[in-house]
Amino acid sequence: MPDKLIIPERTYTEAPMAILAELTHRCPLSCGYCSNPLELVKKNSELTTDEWLDVIDQAAAMGIYQIHFSGGEPTLREDLEIMVEHADKKKLYCNLITSGVLLTRKRLEKLQKLGVRHVQLSLQDSDSKNAERIGNYKGSLEKKIEVAEWLRELKIPLTINAVMHRQNLHNLEDIIQLSVDLDAHRIEIANVQFYGWALKNRAAFMPTKKQALASKTLVDKLIKKLKGIIIFDYVLPDYYAKKPKSCMFGWGRQSVNVTPEGFILPCGAAETIKSLKFENIRDEKLAWIWEHSSAFNMYRGTDWMPEPCKSCDHREIDWGGCRCQALALTGDVNAVDPTCELSPFHEKIFGSASEESSKEAPKFVYRKPTNKEVEPDRRNVSYAKKEHIS
Amino acid sequence: MKKRLLIKNETMPVIPHYIVFQYSEIRKEWVLNAPERTLYPCKIAVEVLKKCNGNLSIEKIAEELATLYKAPVKKICKDIKVMLQDLADKGFLECQTN
């Protein structure tokens, strides 16, 4: 028998493995680090129920295995149940990615019955006041804990998606402990990605280097301690890494995003690349787009890569990192991802992140429609000074 | 707090209800769909997983596979314990009595 009986992940794919269905951009929370585009899709431009059902049919016909119902807040779509039921019938594995704050136990039970097999719940902080301040939603932590308890009772596996940044990294250990206490199956320690709205508030959320390194030490320790109890997904924040992340496991390799108005993207932030033309499901079939769209083919594989990426041993590990980030930080979408230490911009980016985070955290601005400015939490934390997680 | 599932000879593993072990007619392959993960078991792993029904112990699974593959039962038992422990640690396997 071979030594390794399971191949954990596949890198090559003739069709995507997963589809992210961004049902809506509407959301009851107003997080300042929202990575959705600056201009949100309005309700009357969203794909209709029938259009989404057609997307699901097309995805199933391509052999896609998983569907992630996401947003914005997907539970704002009253037809979510219809889509889940349809996707399950088509043998798509249904994940629900939600803030949880609008869910009732009854609706959750119904969604489970119709086919939701896993729920990912976002968490702003384990500190109730700070969670409320970050997401601009009163009682959000308590509500999320309630939802997590329903999930446990209903035996639906839970992933906690903890969005981490300068203003909550000091609570990372508590957040992990809370996830363990809630019997979460997985925890994604998701460092804020500075795209879309988040870029406006970068200085308020950029962790200090010490915070970033201390969080890595803590997570490495807890991964060992909690083996078999909770699964961790964690990478160092981009700005402090030496190698780029394998963004989306490679452009156009494993998954596909559908925006609320039907644009088909290789990743959620791809629309920031204005030089690319994205196709819409209202005009073309998903399989055609996956195979022929110039946007998908532009950065697929390794042929497009500049040096030193092209001859780098990591080229089929990180797939050249993140194109959106290369554009946002260097002004050139074709440049080496500046997260990579081989990029000529690396030191500058690294330096600017360190400098930005060493100053007192500025106010941040809530995501629309609030647009309200928010003061740093001054109860006992100066984010520039409190750099250690316990 | 959950406890780590340790795979022993007497463990009777079962694939949890939220994991879908299925054959894709479109892609002509077996897959294990789990929360935000899709795994692709090889041919032998598929045979192991088919026997993870909560009624067979690891020892019994190994015996049956030893007959099927005409291989030493001890070696098979060792190999499948490594494989199933890895799956259990990822939350892809359960057991009623551990």
B18 and A155: CB-CB below 8 Å?
A: yes
Cite the beta strand spans of A245-383 per DSSP E. Answer: 255-258, 264-265, 364-365, 373-374
| Single-letter amino acid code for the residue at A218 | L
Residue with tokens 């996830």: A179
Distance from the Cα of A186 to chain B's closest Cα (Å) equals 9
Distance between CA atoms of residues A324 and A244, nearest Å? 12
Share of chain A above pLDDT 90, in %: 70
Task: Name the residue among A6, A62, A229 with its Cβ closest to that of B45.
Answer: A6
List, in sequence order, the alpha helices (H) in chain B: 43-50, 58-69, 73-89
B80 and A17: CB-CB below 8 Å?
A: no
Distance between CA atoms of residues A118 and A156, nearest Å? 6
Evaluate whether A157 touches A187 at the Cβ level (below 8 Å).
no
B35-60 pLDDT, tens digit per residue, is 999 999 999 999 999 999 999 999 99
Distance from the Cα of A312 to chain B's closest Cα (Å) equals 28
Q: Which pLDDT does position A155 carry in this prediction?
A: 95
Q: Which pLDDT does position A1 carry in this prediction?
A: 46
Evaluate whether A121 touches A148 at the Cβ level (below 8 Å).
yes
Q: Burial-class residue A164 by CB neighbours within 10 Å (0-12, 13-18, 19+).
A: buried
Distance between CA atoms of residues A312 and B96, nearest Å? 48
Q: Helices then strands (H, E): number in chain B?
A: 3, 5
Q: Which residue of A has its CA nearest to B76?
A: A1
Report the residue of B36, B64, B69 to disrupt the A interface, i.e. the one with the largest count of A CBs within 10 Å: B36
Distance between CA atoms of residues B75 and B85, nearest Å? 16
Long-range Cβ contacts of B22-26 (<8 Å, 24+ apart): B22/A91, B24/A63, B24/A65, B26/A61, B26/A62, B26/A63
Q: Cis peptide before A157, with omega less than 30 degrees from 0?
A: no
A344-390 pLDDT, tens digit per residue, is 999 988 888 888 888 888 888 888 665 667 766 655 444 433 333 33
Q: Which pLDDT does position A309 carry in this prediction?
A: 94
Q: Which pLDDT does position B97 carry in this prediction?
A: 54
Provide, as residue numbers in chain B, all residues whose Cβ is less than 8 Å from the Cβ of A61: 26
Q: Starting at the edge strand that comes first in sequence, how are the strands of the sheet with A186-191 ordered?
A: A231-234, A186-191, A158-164, A116-123, A93-98, A66-70, A18-22, A255-258, A264-265
The partner residues of A374 in beta bridges, in order of sequence, read A364
Q: Report residue A288 CA to chain centroid gap.
A: 26
A5 and B88: CB-CB below 8 Å?
A: no
Q: Which pLDDT does position A367 carry in this prediction?
A: 82
Residue with tokens 């915070």: A211
Provide, as residue numbers in chain A, all residues whose Cβ is less than 8 Å from the Cβ of B51: none
Q: For residue B57, what are the contacts with CB-CB under 8 A and spacing of at least 6?
A: B9, B10, B11, B12
A127-149 pLDDT, tens digit per residue, is 999 999 999 999 999 999 999 99
Question: Does the pLDDT at position A46 exceed 80?
Answer: yes
Identify the residue with better confidence: A383 or A210.
Answer: A210
Q: Per-residue pLDDT averaged across A230-255, rounded?
A: 88
Q: Cis peptide before A308, with omega less than 30 degrees from 0?
A: yes
Q: Which residue of A has its CA nearest to B85?
A: A228
Structure tokens at B6: 């340790």
The partner residues of A162 in beta bridges, in order of sequence, read A123, A189
B1 and A117: CB-CB below 8 Å?
A: no
Task: Name the residue among A17, A157, A181 with its Cβ closest to that of B35.
Answer: A157
User: What is the value of pTM for the model shown?
Assistant: 0.91
Residue A286 parent element (H or E): helix A286-292
B20 and A93: CB-CB below 8 Å?
A: yes
Rounded to 10 deg, the angle between the A172-181 and A209-225 helix axes is 30
Task: Name the residue among B1, B40, B76 with its Cβ closest to that of A229.
Answer: B1
Task: Name the residue among B31, B48, B91 with its Cβ closest to that of A231.
Answer: B91
Question: Does the pLDDT at position A297 exceed 60?
Answer: yes
Longest dimension (CA), chain A: 62
CA dist A261 → A33, A48, A264, A282, A324 (Å): 22, 9, 9, 9, 21
A156-199 pLDDT, tens digit per residue, is 999 999 999 999 999 999 999 999 999 999 999 988 888 778 88
Mean pLDDT of chain A: 89
B38 and A65: CB-CB below 8 Å?
A: yes
Rounded to 5 degrees, φ, ψ at A139 are 70, 20
Q: Which residues of A touch B (CB under 8 A)?
A: 1-10, 15, 17-18, 61-63, 65-66, 68, 91, 93, 95, 117-118, 120, 155-157, 159, 180-181, 183, 185-186, 227-231
